[in-house]
Amino acid sequence: MLLSQRRSLLKRIFASKFTLLLIACNIAVYCVAGFLDSRAFESLSQTSFLIDWGGNVPALTLSGEYWRLFTSMFLHIGFLHLAINMLALWSLGIILEARMRSWVFLGVYLLSGLCGSLVTALWHRDEFFLSCGASGAILGIFGAAIVYGLHDRRMGRPHIPPGNLLFSLVLTFGAGFAFDVDNAAHLGGLLSGALLAGIALYAERLRPTTAAVVLAATGMLGVAALAAVTLDNHDRDMQEQLAAARFGRTLGKMGLLGSDQALWKAPSLEECAAGALAAAARDGLKTPDLRRCAKPGDRDLALLARFMPLQYQSCHAQIAGLRKLYTDAAMQEALTAADQYCGTQTQIYRAIFQEDGGEIDPEKARQARLKMNFLLDQKGMYRTDSAPLRAQASALKGMLRRPGELAWAIIGHSGCPYWSCAR
């Protein structure tokens, strides 16, 4: 008797293996992300947490961060959001997966989720909107369950219990009342799930080999269609605005756009470094005395020693991206000057805070800093106030003025994808 019960339990578990796997994946993402990033449990920082970990922000998604269509399906706004969605997935998945082929069930879930994410991105593309959660994919399962239930009832077969459908529906839309409702994802997931279920039912009437070909072709065509629609709606203008906004924020933290945006004590450290470089250039010294700018025991300077080099690394990476977006000759020259400035500043910080800072040419370093300051404000003379130099300054400042309110709002709430950002 006990052996028979165990076999029955194992059979039921195997029949719903992808349901259990998807639930485990969602829970694992929630736990791991929360363990690695404390912002997950801080209400004031949760928006930036969700953006950095892959939430679906339409402007970011359609400007080239297409992976957000997928990653947003596994992110949740708190434990209650996760619990409601997983209960809904469990109530439907254990029954529908046993009725369908397991791989077909997984395909319906993933394609419905991607479709829901894409519909959200297209619907909210002109606003600051953040979407995450498995509800789009779950509504796809719900749509498939309705199609299968109606078909099986018409054929006089045991069908999906209406109670499970109602329970899942209440839970899923209950999550909508508890959190901001993403009706676009719900509608996209529901319709795509129903359509895919209809194709799956048609395949059941075919020979196994033919059915496998039809299902595989449907999956590939579905992915291709989603990719085609996504690429066709690529927002190059927003991509340029976001890149410029990120660069502007980095320049601000470096103190190049005014002391009000600079990191604490960065301007005073810059003054000290500028004085040391000027003295070395005046006296003909090969190595400026930058170590005097570091004050032992100053915690603020210790924080600058840690975080400012990260800003200069970001500067290099952002400039590489900007070169691909802004191809004007004057802009390319201005970006070259900015890249040289960030390289010089990296050397200066190494010389200030490390014993083996390496050699710095005081005059070259001073000129690189003077040129960058001139390009951004034109308040001082850099060697000669030439027409090409004025064109570079105009191009650089024009780029920094490009971002609109939406781009600045998104950048203001986000850092960078967690796996690509040194913290």
CATH number at residue 47: 1.20.1540.10
Looking at the fold, whether 248 and 217 belong to one and the same domain comes out as no
107 pLDDT tier (thresholds 50, 70, 90)? very high
Whether 135 is a known active-site residue: answer yes
Whether 102 is a known active-site residue: answer no
Query: Is 108 inside any structural domain?
Result: yes
- How many domains does the chain divide into? 2
Whether the predicted pLDDT of 252 surpasses 80: yes
> Which tokens sit at 202?
């048609």
| Rounded-to-integer distance, Cα 163 and Cα 95, Å | 12
Looking at the fold, whether 48 and 102 belong to one and the same domain comes out as yes
> pTM (2 decimals)?
0.87
Q: Other C-beta atoms within 10 Å of 400: how many?
A: 16
261 pLDDT tier (thresholds 50, 70, 90)? confident
Inter-residue contact 295 to 315 (CB < 8 Å): no
Query: Is 419 inside any structural domain?
Result: no
Query: Is 286 inside any structural domain?
Result: yes
140 pLDDT tier (thresholds 50, 70, 90)? very high
Reduced to 3 states (helix: H, G, I; strand: E, B; else coil), residue 131 is strand
Lowest mean pLDDT among 308-317, 348-357, 360-369, 380-389: 380-389
Structural domain harbouring 5? 1-233
Inter-residue contact 402 to 55 (CB < 8 Å): no
> Which tokens sit at 404?
């609109």
The pLDDT tens digits for 183-212 are 888 889 999 999 999 999 999 899 989 999
Query: Is 17 inside any structural domain?
Result: yes
Lowest mean pLDDT among 27-36, 106-115, 275-284: 275-284
Looking at the fold, whether 228 and 278 belong to one and the same domain comes out as no
Can you say whether residue 17 is alpha, beta or left, with left for phi > 0 and alpha for psi between -120 and 50 degrees?
alpha
Looking at the fold, whether 53 and 87 belong to one and the same domain comes out as yes
pLDDT of residue 351: 85
118 pLDDT tier (thresholds 50, 70, 90)? very high
Whether the predicted pLDDT of 365 surpasses 80: yes
Mean predicted lDDT score pLDDT of the chain: 86
Looking at the fold, whether 133 and 247 belong to one and the same domain comes out as no
Looking at the fold, whether 43 and 90 belong to one and the same domain comes out as yes
358 pLDDT tier (thresholds 50, 70, 90)? low
Whether the predicted pLDDT of 157 surpasses 50: yes
Looking at the fold, whether 227 and 279 belong to one and the same domain comes out as no
Query: Is 260 inside any structural domain?
Result: no
Helices 162-178 and 135-154, packing angle to 10 deg: 160
- Share in percent of the chain as helix, strand, coil (round to 5): 75, 0, 25
Catalytic residue among 76, 124, 159, 186: 186
Looking at the fold, whether 9 and 143 belong to one and the same domain comes out as yes
| Rounded-to-integer distance, Cα 208 and Cα 100, Å | 14
Looking at the fold, whether 218 and 292 belong to one and the same domain comes out as no
What is the distance between the terminal CA atoms of the chain, rounded to a whole angstrom? 56
- Give the burial class of 1: count Cβ atoms within 10 A of its Cβ; 0-12 exposed, 13-18 middle, 19 or more buried: exposed
Can you say whether residue 3 is alpha, beta or left, with left for phi > 0 and alpha for psi between -120 and 50 degrees?
alpha
Looking at the fold, whether 273 and 124 belong to one and the same domain comes out as no
| Residues in contact with 269: Cβ distance below 8 Å, sequence separation at least 6, in sequence order | 293, 301, 304, 352
Query: Is 420 inside any structural domain?
Result: no
| Rounded-to-integer distance, Cα 416 and Cα 398, Å | 24
> Which tokens sit at 400?
């920094």
Inter-residue contact 257 to 251 (CB < 8 Å): yes
Inter-residue contact 346 to 312 (CB < 8 Å): yes
pLDDT of residue 75: 94
CA geometry: angle at 364 spanning 303 and 290, to 5°? 35
Q: Other C-beta atoms within 10 Å of 231: how many?
A: 11
Catalytic residue among 112, 131, 135, 168: 135
Query: Is 421 inside any structural domain?
Result: no
Looking at the fold, whether 377 and 247 belong to one and the same domain comes out as yes
Query: Is 422 inside any structural domain?
Result: no
| Rounded-to-integer distance, Cα 196 and Cα 200, Å | 6
Q: Other C-beta atoms within 10 Å of 149: how many?
A: 20
Nearest C-alpha neighbor of 136 from the set 121, 125, 149, 152? 121
Whether the predicted pLDDT of 422 surpasses 70: no
Looking at the fold, whether 290 and 218 belong to one and the same domain comes out as no
Q: Other C-beta atoms within 10 Å of 77: how many?
A: 20
| Rounded-to-integer distance, Cα 227 and Cα 302, Å | 47
